[in-house]
């Protein structure tokens, strides 16, 4: 309770109270990823039943963004199951970024590892945010992924940050890590050269066929502690409830908002996993007295 109280006090010093930012997420290229992330149903190494889909057309991406905008989302995130994008694929994503920007929405992409030149091209196209999660602590990382190093992830974050794109970076909890691992993840994020402007905290969604299917579920209060700690250590950052909300009770989500979460992924699907319905979220926000309009930039003190 003391942790939550402190987190809420800090939150109100930096953000408008009772206001949540809405982001929509679309898988623009699905499946057949060569990585071995133990949580991911899109890995080609696991038999999860996820259908492989090629990169969507710019027109189809733009149509999905327009629907998300009509539903109230202010940021549109595009995710592709790549280890890293090829330049020809990146050119198509850049066209999609420009198309979404033309709708008046903020843009975000998660495409895997980037070179500095690729990050510069995305910046020139007007990309607002780039998502590249650290996933967990450096000590626990090898238990989850072997095909990409922790330093690889930090290098991509450096390329993105140095060319002026806002960083979206967080992790996944409930993968069998310890409380010390969760604390170490938050500490790493908070001690980057600049804390991420957006910090997504995911609760593991156990996908059939992945190595983490059957993992012990994380206690909900421990998840709230993670949210509160992220808020306290990164006061100006948006802290986003991401994957796993579909399995959370309304009461658990309310505790997360009390602990300083002020952003969600909005819409019925997150890449390949389910999410709470738009109608349910609207009803929950009405019951809690939460505003989803007029999100303001954080106040720095």
Report the catalytic residues: 33, 37, 40, 77, 108, 168, 240
User: CA quadruple 62, 67, 73, 79: dihedral positive or negative?
Assistant: negative
Three-state secondary structure call for residue 240: strand
Sign of CA dihedral 147, 135, 243, 249: positive
C-alpha span between 6 and 51 (Å, rounded): 45
The answer to whether 33 touches 83, Cβ cutoff 8 Å, is: yes
The three-state secondary structure class of 243 is: coil
Enumerate residues 6+ apart whose C-beta is below 8 A from 40.
Answer: 33, 46, 207, 210
Calpha distance 20→23 (Å, rounded): 10
Q: How many CA atoms are closer than 13 Å to the CA of 196, on its beta-carbon side?
A: 29
Residue 99 in tokens:
């198309």
Quick one: how far is CA 163 from the chain centroid? 20
Q: What angle do CA 213, 178, 109 make, to 5 degrees?
A: 65
For 39, residues 6+ apart whose C-beta sits below 8 A from its C-beta are 144, 172, 175, 204, 205, 207, 210, 212
CA 58/CA 91 separation, integer angstroms = 11
Strand partners for 80: 29
Listed residue (210, 208, 107, 214) closest to 166, CA to CA: 107
């Amino acid at each position: 309770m003391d942790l939550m109280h402190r987190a809420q006090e800090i939150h109100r010093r930096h953000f408008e109270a009772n206001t949540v930012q809405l982001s929509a997420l679309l898988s623009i290229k699905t499946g057949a990823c060569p990585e071995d992330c133990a949580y991911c149903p899109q890995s080609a190494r696991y038999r999860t039943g996820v259908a492989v889909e090629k990169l969507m057309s710019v027109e189809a991406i733009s149509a999905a963004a327009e629907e998300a905008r009509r539903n109230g989302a202010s940021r549109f995130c595009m995710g592709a199951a790549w280890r890293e994008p090829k330049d020809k694929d990146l050119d198509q994503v850049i066209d999609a970024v420009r198309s979404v920007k033309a709708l008046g929405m903020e843009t975000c992409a998660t495409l895997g590892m980037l070179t500095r030149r690729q990050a510069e091209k995305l910046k020139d196209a007007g990309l607002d945010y780039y998502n590249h999660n650290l996933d967990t602590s450096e000590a626990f990382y090898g238990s989850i992924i072997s095909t990409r190093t922790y330093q690889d992830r930090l290098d991509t974050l450096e390329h993105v940050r140095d060319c002026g794109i806002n960083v979206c970076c967080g992790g996944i909890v409930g993968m069998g890590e310890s409380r010390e691992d969760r604390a170490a993840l938050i500490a790493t994020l908070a001690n980057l050269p600049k804390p991420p402007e957006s910090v997504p905290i995911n609760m593991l969604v156990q996908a059939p066929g992945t190595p983490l299917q059957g993992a012990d579920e994380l206690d909900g209060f421990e998840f709230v502690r993670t949210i509160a700690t992220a808020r306290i250590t990164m006061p100006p950052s948006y802290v986003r409830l991401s994957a796993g909300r579909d399995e959370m009770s309304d009461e658990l989500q309310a505790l997360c908002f009390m602990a300083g979460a002020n952003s969600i992924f909005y819409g019925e699907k997150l890449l390949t996993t389910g999410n709470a319905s738009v109608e349910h979220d609207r009803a929950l926000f009405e019951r809690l007295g939460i505003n989803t309009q007029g999100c303001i930039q954080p106040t720095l003190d």
